[in-house]
Amino acid sequence: MNNIIANRKQNSNQIFNSKNKKERIYLGFCYQSKPSEVIEIISQKVNEYDLTKLIPLLRVEKKDKTKIGKRKKPEFYFFVAIEKGNDTQSERMYQEFQEKLLVLKYFKRNAFKSKGLSIFTHEQIKDMVAGKTYDVLDYTNPIPYETKSKENLVNDNPFEVDNISDNLSTDNNSKNYQKLLYWLSVVGSSSWQLFRKTCQILQLDNPARNLRKLKLLGHLETSADGQKIVVNSPTLVQIESNTEEKEFILCGQQNGKLINNLEKFGTVKIIEQPQKNAPSCIKFIPDNDIQLQEIIEQIKNNYYLQIYQADLVSRKLADALPHWQEWYENLSSLQGIVTSLYKWRQFDGNIFVECLTPQKTGMYQMFQGTIKNSGDNLDLSSQKPIRTVFYDADTQCFKQGDWCGLRFLAMKAIQQEIVIKYDEISKRLAIPYTQRLSQLYERSLVLASGILPSYQKTEDKNIWLIYENISLNLLQTLANKLDLNWEEKRECMM
């Protein structure tokens, strides 16, 4: 093993002794497991060690359909993208990659037998890998692995165009997200198992994340246990407009026929989601001389399609939302958890750290196995938690909810300030990626535009979620419900 590491370290000279200031290469490896599990754990480690600038994405070998079903955990190749350069920062990050990640079991075998690392260009592997790329930030749970101080976030300006280095990578499979919504529109309802299977057929990874995005966009609802999915009826939802024209977004069931018929009564704009990882936003601007209700009636009578309308749903939803403490009280409790039967990690505001059992109020991860005494090995870095929960020390009760919601409660418990920045002129709202709101509250932000938040990375390496078309009234309502303050920033004028 030591010889392998020594040979691999020699490759760093080959990687960074280049005249090119910036170039992407791929390191190839071979492993036997479920690809999704490997990608998730590697992505978590990349975020934990703040190496996203060096390693932006992963690519996986195309599935061999002839091998499907023969082995539960087939052997596969995967490739780690490296943004190489000849600057000191790149060399430092690569050294940390060697010391912290290359020693993990997933990197023991090169893609092809060689003494050093297997190094490739995109041209060399493009026929071997699937079209899908796995962004190391999008694939993981939104855990704030990057330790950022409050001052770092407060002094940052996500609206300053010169500060934005890049958006996160986009999904090459965007058309299949539209197919997923069209399929849901036809069936009307689905079980979680069928939804997950359909995502697999369409080669859309992470079904749970796909379901979350469809809920945020107002296309569907789920039962309390998440096992039943019901698609909303086709609805034209009014959004706030910067002009005298009324603007609507199409939520719920939809198909090409409905969209084509809307074009006969006004302007239809098909707007791709920022990461192309969800169905496009369908914006409808009716002609000035026609009332929306008249349009709905004509489409119903002439084309036998029923559409509904709703006024400013984002604002009405925000008004109806409970205060966060009431929401917390109504979260379902988990009964019968014997803490000594599991291993635990506690969220400390930045990362999860090992602990014996839950003692303080906060967010915890549960792992299989037991710890008999404090001297036992608590290394859980390569294990996947079986559940994430919120523990209330006063009532000794475990609560369950959406991941971002539990993290929000944990930040409240340790009195960690959530940093929000707002530009009233552009109506853009910025929230740190590491402080994303619960799905319940985020939904009103997304429905203000029908657009999922874009991801922006600043020069300070902070990642921000940018929400569009957020009125001051909507922001004030949500801030009151969540006990949040915000700072007003102005977008840099070009």
SS (H, E, C) 239-250: ECCCCCCCEEEE
What is the pLDDT averaged over residues 210-214? 95
Task: Pick the closest to residue 26 from 111, 127, 102 (CA basis).
Answer: 111
Tell me, what's the pLDDT at 247? 96
HSE toward the beta carbon, residue 448, CA cutoff 13 A: 24
**Candidate from 51-55, 192-196, 427-431, 438-442 with smallest mean pLDDT:** 51-55
84 pLDDT more than 60: yes
104 vs 73: CA distance, rounded Å = 19
pLDDT of residue 162: 40
Q: Tokens in use for 161?
A: 């165009």
Average pLDDT over residues 191-213: 92
The mean pLDDT of 28-42, rounded to a whole number, is: 85
Q: Is the pLDDT of residue 136 over 80?
A: no
Q: What is the pLDDT of residue 304?
A: 83
Three-state SS at 216: helix
| 6 contacts: CB under 8 Å, gap ≥ 6 | none
The per-residue pLDDT for 420 is 93
Domain residue extents for the chain: 2-140, 333-400
Report residue 124's pLDDT band, with 50, 70 and 90 as the boundaries.
confident
Are 306 and 188 in contact, with CB atoms under 8 Å apart?
A: no
Q: Are strands 235-239 and 308-310 parallel, antiparallel or unpaired?
A: parallel
State the average pLDDT over residues 436-457: 95
Cβ atoms of residues 406 and 471 within 8 Å: no
pLDDT reported for residue 112:
77
Q: How confident is the model at residue 157 (pLDDT cuts 50, 70, 90)?
A: low
pLDDT at 4 over 50: no
Band (pLDDT 50/70/90 cuts) for residue 21 is: low
pLDDT exceeds cutoff 70 at 156: no
Q: What is d(CA 263, CA 21) in angstroms, rounded to the nearest whole number?
A: 48
Question: Do 362 and 414 meet the contact criterion of CB atoms below 8 Å apart?
Answer: yes
Identify the DSSP state of 163: G
Detail the DSSP E strand segments found in 142-212.
Answer: 164-166, 189-191
Hey, which bits of 386-476 come out as E strands?
387-392, 397-399, 421-423, 428-432, 454-458, 463-467
- Are the CB atoms for 203 and 130 separated by under 8 Å? yes
Residue 60: predicted pLDDT: 86
| pLDDT (0 to 100) of residue 214 | 97
Q: What is the mean pLDDT of the chain?
A: 83
Check pLDDT > 90 for residue 224: no
CATH fold group of domain 2-140: Alpha-Beta Plaits (3.30.70)
Average pLDDT over residues 127-144: 56
CA gap 261, 223 in Å, rounded: 32
Question: Cβ contacts of residue 488 below 8 Å, gap of 6+?
Answer: 421, 422, 423, 424
Q: Tokens 């340790």 sit at which residue?
A: 414
347/304: higher pLDDT: 347
User: What would the pLDDT profile of 352-391 be if each residue is shown by its tens digit?
Assistant: 999 999 999 999 999 987 655 544 545 666 678 899 999 9
Query: What is the rounded average pLDDT of the residues 41-62?
Result: 80
If pLDDT is split at 50, 70 and 90, which confidence band does 141 have?
very low
When pLDDT is averaged across residues 71-77 and rounded to a whole number, the result is 72
pLDDT score at 339: 92
Q: Which residue has the higher pLDDT, 474 or 336?
A: 474
Those residues whose C-beta lies under 8 Å from the C-beta of residue 166, and which sit 6 or more positions away, are 457
pTM: 0.71
In the predicted model, what is the mean pLDDT of residues 251-264? 93
Q: Return the higher-pLDDT residue of 143 and 466.
A: 466
Q: What percent of the chain has pLDDT over 90?
A: 49
* Residue 114 to residue 63: CA distance in whole angstroms: 24
Give the highest mean pLDDT range of 54-68, 82-96, 97-111, 424-438: 424-438
